[in-house]
Structure 1
Amino acid sequence: MYEKQYRLELSAPPAVLPLAGNVLAALLALRDAVRHGARPMDAEYNAAWAKLYEARTALLGAMRSSLQR
């Protein structure tokens, strides 16, 4: 996970980098929720999953935008 972020930081435009950080933070938050016992039908799990989905969607949009230039 950290290796992929590092590779992205080396090649992505600066506008994409904070969004990649958001995805990593959201993924770690989901991991932590699961570590603390959250399961897929729990509100805590679903909230963490939704944040990850939103962060990932924003990152993919920015990456697609940067490739179209």
Structure 2
Amino acid sequence: MSDFIDKAKHRAEDLIGEAKEKIGNATGNDDLAAEGVADQSEAKVKKAGDTVSDKVSDIKDKFTS
């Protein structure tokens, strides 16, 4: 269950970052746009970690089955 919640949080962080970037660009707020890009980058790194963790878990399951 924790994995699902973590993945949902990371996706939400990505979506919030996208919104910040778009709002910042639309309003001319460069700081908000940059913050949005940074949030998206951080979320993408976390999501990549989720993927690696899933792959390691799959490999582990194959060897312990």
TM-score by length of 1: 0.53
Tell me, what secondary structure is at the counterpart of 1:23?
Answer: helix
**Correspondent of 1:24 among 2, 12, 20:** 12
| Higher relative contact order, chain-length normalized (CA < 8 Å, sep 6+) | 1
TM-score by length of 2: 0.55
- Following TM superposition, by how much is the alpha carbon of 1:28 offset from its aligned partner in structure 2, in angstroms? 2.8
> What root-mean-square deviation, in Å, do the aligned CA atoms of Structure 1 and Structure 2 show?
2.8
- Following TM superposition, by how much is the alpha carbon of 1:45 offset from its aligned partner in structure 2, in angstroms? 0.5
- When residues 33 and 49 of structure 1 are mapped into structure 2, their CA distance, relative to the original with a 3 A threshold, is closer
Which of the pair has more CA radius of gyration? 2
Aligned to 2:63: none
Give identity over the alignment, percent.
15
Instruction: Find runs of 4+ consecutive structure 1 residues off by over 4 angstroms.
Output: none
Distance (whole Å) between structure 2 residues aligned to residue 55 and residue 29 of structure 1? 8
Aligned residue-pair number: 55
**Correspondent of 1:50 among 30, 35, 38:** 38
Unpaired segments of 5 or more residues in structure 2? Answer: 58-65
- Following TM superposition, by how much is the alpha carbon of 1:24 offset from its aligned partner in structure 2, in angstroms? 1.7
Unpaired segments of 5 or more residues in structure 1? Answer: 1-12
Higher percent of residues as helix? 2
